[in-house]
Structure 1
Amino acid sequence: MMANKQYNLISIIYDDLRIYGKWQLLLFLLVLTSAMLVILVTYQTRSMIMVREKLLLEKNVLDAEWSSLILSEKMLSHYSRIERVAIDKLQMRYVDLMQDNKLHE
Structure 2
Amino acid sequence: MMKKKQYNLINIIYNDLFFYGKQQLLLLLLVLMSAMLVILVTYHTRSMIMDREKLFLERDTLDTEWRNLILEEKILSDHSRIERIAVNKLQMHYVDPTQNKMFH
TM-score (normalizing by structure 1): 0.72
Q: In the superposition, relative to structure 1, how do residues 29 and 63 fare at CA in structure 2: closer, same or farther (>3 Å)?
A: same
Aligned alpha-carbon RMSD (Å): 2.6
- Residue aligning to 2:39: 39
Gap runs ≥5 in structure 2: 93-104
Which one has the bigger helix percentage? Answer: 1
String of CA shifts for 1:37-86, please: whole Å, max 9, x gaps.
000000000000011111111111111111100100000111xx2336xx
- Residue aligning to 2:30: 30
**Identity between Structure 1 and Structure 2 (%):** 65
**What is the SS of the residue equivalent to 1:38?**
helix
- Residue aligning to 2:91: 95
- Residue aligning to 2:49: 49
How many residues align? The count is 90
TM-score (normalizing by structure 2): 0.73
CA displacement at 1:6 relative to structure 2: 4.1
**What is the SS of the residue equivalent to 2:32?**
helix
Distance in 1 between the 2:3 and 2:67 partners? 90
**What is the SS of the residue equivalent to 1:7?**
coil
- Residue aligning to 1:100: none
Distance in 2 between the 1:59 and 1:5 partners? 76
- Residue aligning to 1:69: 69
